[in-house]
């Protein structure tokens, strides 16, 4: 049975829908109400507050902490400055993705890694010869994500204007309700937003302070359903949905490389050896087989399929993650869409897909399967640059 | 003297004999099954030993049963129902415990209390074993490969196997080699650090063998634990509703539906051999039943040294059969109790007991248990694999009452006083088992309504398992594949023309798998023998 997070006494009181799911062994709210749209619009117009404690968290300390992280990550973490956060991925020896997450440098020899999956054992296997200590702090650190255009104002209320100067992908040590917290300017919604990290025993005090500061500004407690729509709008890949950690794959074709996951921008190939480097160099030289792309559905044909049955077009209010086949215009299977959603901001049906590399150029016309009145059809989709939705305030 | 003509007589109504009969009958062959006991199933048998309590007397869980056999014989329709085990529970002497669950996160948390690293390695280990088990399925779903044959079909089979092997990661090939040569403990040491985890995992390597968890070759048997499947889900174990005998009954029902004739209380005295060919069987009263083929579901010792007789065999073959290691090492204690056992760790509810319970507190405990057996004694503190089937299948016990089934190792067949002395030590053996379990479950002794103790001697006398070996011969690497039960005779055929084997002593081996019965029947049918 999943266990509650330290915020559960508050979130469970607010969760009137009783809609929860298991997130890495924790009870996580899907949506506080029957429908997630109030929470979604809070993310985009005010702020949403979501409990992200179930993320795996590792503290990496010691004189060789940076060398260790540079060895296991595809990104050269040694370049990270104190109080800076970076997005990174890591691979196995064959260059196949294990996970993606953030790496922060809290101070000189103290780093923290957040991840979707557990990696303590794997990290330990790769510490040979290095003076580094890795501690799993998943259960001892509680985390909240406050996302949306008013998140800065809310946190300024709660902290005494500490986050005003906090730049995108930076962190600061401060306190909320007299409890020590770290605030990172990060998130999974593609909007202005912050994540607040605190000791589990301080979780409720911090929650209450943010709740109090946020409520007058329209902040809503938000669940995973609303966040899923925002992360699709932001074009963010999700481990276990859009790709699978090589550790969990029974067959090779299920695995992905950073290039195939459109994470090449996080890979620094030409440097001291890191895990998977040789395979990734070879892949770069040879050219990747697949690509992770954004798709936007063309509306008219979609509507016409419904019109044939005398129906208005059906718009799903929640994101989906059941893989759907993608075809080229001749009907050949070229890949699969792995998640998608109707974007209330963009008024478009969006999808994230893995397709053969030759179909990855923006503007390429493809077809996606859809089911209308029990009959399988296809509709045109266009390969589109990600993120689909990218407000200026995110970085400003 | 009666003379009847059958296409096939199957000796022994165990689950493999019944499976062979069902396949032969399905193919339109006139088939007769002869079972010595009053009840079908052999070691996969359910019996009401105490009023209201139906025991799976010998084998008690099912995992390896081949799913295609369920489909081909329509066993679900004939009454086969499997309920999955929910957990693997290890109570510890200090009052703590480790429980492994179907939920991976819950399992991770449980193991993390003993080692955070092991908690994460555990699913990696499972994945590696699953990949190897996928490969091993090629082996258990086909007749044994014959590396000495140059026949096209045999070469094709070897080619297919080597192709599957070559598709494995180099890492997995190395792993395979380690499995074949290492001890269970040595192999687990490569992965894990916590003895609390290694100890219950290592016992999978010794079940049914006269080896210790530190004996080389025991790593291979670990893999068997990962080969099972229920409804296509890998690595699951289940209870058979109504006891394991219900599986046998379902196969018997299927066989009858195809026209097979099944007789119980019908022992066979010997196999009738004329001019080097099996032509039927002779019953204890001298009656003969004639058939084109005879198939023995008994173990190789009883088949050849018993029913055929050395005088009808080539001495070299006889030697091979005599060398085929039986040496049973386990016993069984079945209890009817008036309440659920209470373990000392304070877990509430019954979920942790709805699977198997291992008494295997440490590697040294297991090795000490083996030491006693090496020198001709049963373990005073044995390894126990305990299940309480009545928790998930209330049909086997009256309301509120339960069945506790204890698989016990080690109980060597050859105790120092001689195997036939076992009846004199039976109750002492039963006491050792109850005492062991009672150390973890205070109040157990007071709750016992009925106790059945099966020593290896009893398994031999009552169930015909030579030397009490539950697998019809040890599942050690040198007794598998093309060596099971004898080199050159691993494909169900025997040196006696028209005499075939279909028991667990043939490839792919023991466990309620039904594969030997199926593969034997299919080999007979495709070769035109019947």
**Residues from chain A contacting residue B116 (CB–CB below 8 Å):** 120-121, 136
Determine the distance in angstroms separating the CA of B179 from the nearest CA of chain A, rounded to an integer. Answer: 19
| A111 to A56, A181, A269: CA distances (angstroms) | 14, 15, 22
Kindly determine whether residue B134 and residue A25, on different chains, have CB atoms separated by under 8 Å: no
Determine the distance in angstroms separating the CA of B402 from the nearest CA of chain A, rounded to an integer. Answer: 26
* Best CATH choice for the domain A8-55+139-222 from the list 3.30.230.70, 3.30.1310.10, 3.30.2010.10, 3.30.1360.120: 3.30.1360.120
In terms of CATH architecture, what is B327-466?
A: 2-Layer Sandwich (3.30)
Which two tokens mark B233?
């889900």
CA-atom Rg of chain A in angstroms: 21
Give the 3-state secondary structure of residue B440: helix
Give kind and range of the element (H or E) at residue B152.
Answer: helix B152-166
ipTM: 0.88
CATH 3.30.1360.120 in chain A: give the residue spans.
Answer: 8-55+139-222
Distance between CA B303 and CA B320 in Å, rounded? 13
With beta carbons less than 8 A apart as the criterion, state whether A82 and A94 touch.
no
Kindly determine whether residue A122 and residue B106, on different chains, have CB atoms separated by under 8 Å: no
Q: Does domain B5-47+62-83+241-325+475-526 have CATH number 3.40.1350.10?
A: no
Determine the straight-line distance between the first and last CA of chain A, rounded to whole angstroms.
42
Which two tokens mark A243?
């790709």
Nearest CA in chain A to B109: A25
**Residues from chain A contacting residue B130 (CB–CB below 8 Å):** 250
B116 contacts chain A (CB < 8 A): yes
**Residues from chain A contacting residue B103 (CB–CB below 8 Å):** 1-2, 22, 25
> If DSSP states are collapsed to H, E and C, what string results for chain A?
CCECCCCHHHHHHHCCCCEEEEECCEEEEEECCCCCHHHHHHHHHCCEEEECCCCEEEEEECCCHHHHHHHHECCCHHHCCCCEEEEEEEECCCCCEEEEEEEEEEECCEEEEEECCCCHHHHHHCCCCCCCEEEECCCCEEEEEEECCCHHHHHHHHHCCCHHHCCCCEEEEEEECCEEEEEECCCCCCCCEEEEEEEHHHHHHHHHHHHHHHHHHCCEECCHHHHHHHHHHCCCCCECCCECCHHHCCCHHHCCCCCCCCCHHHCCCCCCCCCCHHHHHHHHHHCCCEEEEEEEECHHHHHHHHHCCCCCCCCCCCCECCCEEEECCCCCEEEEEEEEEEECCCCEEEEEEEEEHHHCCCCCEEEEEEEECCEEEEEEEEEECCCCCCCHHHCC
Supply the CATH classification number for the domain A289-396: 2.40.30.110
pLDDT per residue of chain B (530 residues) written in tens, 0 to 9: 455 589 999 999 999 999 999 999 999 999 999 999 999 999 999 999 999 999 999 999 998 899 999 999 999 999 999 998 989 999 999 999 999 998 899 999 999 999 999 999 999 998 888 888 878 777 888 888 887 888 888 888 888 878 877 777 788 888 888 888 899 999 999 999 999 999 999 998 899 899 999 999 898 878 876 776 555 554 578 999 999 999 999 999 999 999 999 999 999 999 999 999 999 999 999 999 999 999 999 999 999 999 999 999 999 999 999 999 999 999 999 999 999 999 998 899 999 999 999 999 999 999 999 999 999 999 999 999 999 999 999 999 999 999 999 999 999 999 999 999 999 999 999 999 999 999 999 999 999 999 999 999 999 999 999 999 999 999 888 888 888 999 999 999 999 999 999 999 999 998 999 999 999 999 999 999 99
CATH 3.30.70.1400 in chain A: give the residue spans.
Answer: 57-136
**Residues from chain B contacting residue A117 (CB–CB below 8 Å):** none
With beta carbons less than 8 A apart as the criterion, state whether A42 and A222 touch.
yes
Cβ neighbourhood burial of A175 (10 Å; 0-12, 13-18, 19+)? middle
Determine the distance in angstroms separating the CA of B297 from the nearest CA of chain A, rounded to an integer. Answer: 37
B374 contacts chain A (CB < 8 A): no
- Chain A residues at the B interface, defined by Cβ less than 8 Å, are 1-3, 22, 24-25, 118-122, 124, 136, 247-248, 250
What is the DSSP secondary structure assignment for residue B446, as one 8-state letter?
Answer: G
Which two tokens mark A321?
């993650």
Determine the distance in angstroms separating the CA of A133 from the nearest CA of chain B, rounded to an integer. Answer: 13
What b-and-e string marks burial along B78-88, b requiring 16 or more CB atoms within 10 Å of the CB? Answer: bbbebebbbbb
Kindly determine whether residue B127 and residue A248, on different chains, have CB atoms separated by under 8 Å: yes
With beta carbons less than 8 A apart as the criterion, state whether B104 and B123 touch.
yes
Give the 3-state secondary structure of residue B411: coil
Which two tokens mark A48?
């949403």
Which residues lie across from A372 on neighbouring strands? A375
Kindly determine whether residue B105 and residue A25, on different chains, have CB atoms separated by under 8 Å: yes
pLDDT at A337: 98
Going by C-beta distance under 8 Å and a sequence separation of 6 or more, which residues neighbour residue A60? A68, A69, A110, A111, A112, A113, A123, A132, A133, A134
CB atoms closer than 10 angstroms to residue A331: 9
> Which of A25, A248, A250 comes nearest B109 by C-beta?
A25
- CATH class name, domain A57-136: alpha beta
What is the DSSP secondary structure assignment for residue B325, as one 8-state letter?
Answer: -
Mean pLDDT (whole number) for A55-63 = 98
| B89 to A227, A232, B101, B357: CA distances (angstroms) | 38, 42, 9, 5
Domain ranges of chain B: 5-47+62-83+241-325+475-526, 97-234, 327-466
Q: Are strands B499-501 and B288-296 parallel, antiparallel or unpaired?
A: parallel
């Amino acid at each position: 049975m999943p266990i509650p997070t330290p915020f559960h006494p508050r979130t469970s009181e607010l969760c009137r829908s009783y809609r929860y799911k298991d997130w890495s062994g924790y009870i996580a709210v899907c949506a506080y109400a029957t429908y997630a749209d109030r929470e979604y619009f809070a993310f985009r117009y005010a702020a949403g507050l979501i409990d992200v404690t179930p993320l795996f968290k590792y503290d990496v300390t010691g004189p060789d902490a940076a060398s260790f992280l540079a060895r296991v990550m595809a990104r050269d973490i040694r370049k990270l400055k104190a109080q800076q956060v970076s997005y990174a991925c890591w691979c196995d020896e064959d260059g196949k993705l294990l996970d993606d997450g953030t790496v922060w440098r809290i101070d000189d020899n103290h780093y923290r890694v957040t991840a979707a999956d557990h990696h303590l054992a794997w990290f330990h296997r790769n510490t040979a010869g290095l003076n580094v200590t890795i501690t799993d702090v998943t259960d001892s650190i509680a985390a909240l994500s406050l996302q949306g255009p008013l998140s800065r104002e809310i946190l300024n209320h709660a902290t005494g204007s500490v986050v005003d100067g906090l730049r995108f992908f930076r962190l600061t040590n401060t306190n909320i309700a007299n409890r020590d917290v770290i605030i990172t300017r990060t998130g999974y919604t593609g909007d202005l937003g912050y994540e607040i990290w605190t000791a589990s025993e301080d979780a409720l005090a911090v929650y209450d302070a943010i709740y109090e500061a946020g409520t007058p500004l329209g902040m809503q407690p938000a669940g995973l359903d609303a966040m899923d729509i925002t992360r699709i709008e932001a074009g963010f890949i999700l481990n276990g949905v859009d790709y699978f950690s090589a550790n969990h794959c029974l067959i090779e074709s299920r695995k992905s490389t950073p290039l195939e996951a459109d994470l090449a921008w996080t890979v620094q190939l030409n440097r001291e050896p890191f895990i998977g480097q040789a395979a990734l160099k070879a892949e770069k030289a040879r050219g990747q087989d697949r690509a992770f792309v954004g798709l936007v559905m063309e509306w008219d044909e979609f509507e016409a399929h419904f019109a044939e049955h005398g129906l208005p077009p059906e718009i799903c209010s929640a994101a989906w993650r059941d893989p759907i086949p993608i075809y080229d215009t001749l009907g050949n299977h070229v890949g699969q869409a792995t998640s998608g959603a109707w974007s209330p901001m963009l008024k478009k049906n969006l999808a994230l897909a893995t397709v053969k590399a030759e179909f990855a150029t923006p503007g390429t016309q493809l077809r996606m399967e859809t089911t209308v009145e029990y009959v399988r059809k296809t509709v045109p989709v266009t390969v589109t640059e990600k993120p689909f939705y990218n407000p200026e305030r995110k970085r400003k | 003297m009666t003379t009847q003509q059958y296409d096939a007589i199957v000796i022994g109504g165990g689950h493999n004999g019944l499976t062979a009969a069902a396949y032969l009958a399905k193919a339109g062959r006139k088939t007769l099954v002869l079972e010595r006991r009053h009840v079908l199933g052999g070691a996969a048998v359910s019996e009401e030993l105490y009023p209201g309590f139906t025991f799976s007397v010998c084998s008690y869980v099912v995992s390896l049963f081949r799913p295609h056999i369920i489909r081909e014989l329509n066993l679900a329709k004939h009454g086969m129902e499997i309920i999955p085990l929910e957990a693997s529970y290890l109570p510890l002497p200090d009052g703590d415990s480790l429980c492994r669950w179907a939920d991976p996160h819950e399992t991770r948390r449980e193991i993390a209390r003993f080692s955070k690293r092991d908690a994460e390695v555990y699913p990696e280990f499972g994945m590696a074993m699953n990949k190897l088990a996928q490969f091993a399925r090629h082996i258990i779903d086909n007749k044994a490969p014959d590396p000495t044959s140059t026949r096209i079909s045999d070469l094709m089979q070897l080619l297919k196997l080597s192709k599957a092997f070559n598709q494995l990661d180099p890492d997995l090939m190395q792993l395979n080699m380690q499995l074949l040569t290492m001890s269970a403990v040595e192999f687990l040491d490569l992965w894990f650090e916590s003895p609390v985890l290694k100890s219950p995992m290592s016992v999978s390597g010794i079940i049914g063998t006269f080896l210790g968890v530190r004996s080389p070759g025991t790593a291979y048997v670990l893999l068997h634990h990962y080969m099972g499947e229920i409804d296509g889900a890998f690595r699951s174990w289940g209870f058979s509703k109504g006891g394991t005998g219900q599986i046998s009954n379902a196969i018997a029902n299927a066989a009858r539906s195809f026209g097979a004739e099944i007789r119980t209380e019908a022992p066979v005295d010997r196999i009738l051999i004329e001019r080097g060919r099996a032509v039927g069987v002779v019953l204890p009263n001298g009656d003969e039943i004639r058939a084109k083929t005879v198939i023995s579901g008994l173990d190789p010792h009883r088949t050849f040294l018993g029913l055929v007789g050395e005088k009808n065999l080539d001495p070299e073959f006889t030697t091979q059969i005599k060398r085929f290691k039986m040496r049973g090492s386990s016993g069984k204690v079945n209890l009817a109790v008036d309440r659920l056992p209470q373990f000392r760790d304070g877990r509430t509810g019954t979920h942790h007991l709805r699977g198997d319970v291992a008494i295997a507190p440490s590697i040294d405990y297991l090795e000490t248990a083996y030491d006693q057996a090496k020198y001709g004694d049963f373990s005073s503190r044995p390894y126990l694999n305990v299940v309480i089937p009545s928790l998930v299948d209330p049909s086997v016990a009256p309301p509120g009452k339960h069945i506790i089934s204890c698989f016990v190792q080690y109980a060597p067949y050859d105790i120092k006083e001689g195997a036939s002395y076992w009846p004199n030590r039976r109750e002492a053996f039963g006491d050792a088992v109850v005492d062991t379990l009672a150390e973890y479950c205070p109040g157990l002794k007071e709750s016992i309504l009925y106790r059945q103790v099966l020593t290896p001697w009893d398994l031999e006398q009552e169930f015909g398992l030579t030397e009490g070996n539950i697998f019809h011969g040890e599942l050690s690497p040198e007794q598998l594949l093309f060596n099971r039960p004898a080199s050159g005779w691993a494909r169900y055929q025997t040196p006696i023309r028209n005499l075939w084997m279909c028991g667990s002593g043939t490839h792919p081996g023991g466990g309620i798998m039904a594969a030997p019965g199926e593969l034997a029947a299919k080999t007979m049918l495709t070769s035109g023998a019947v």
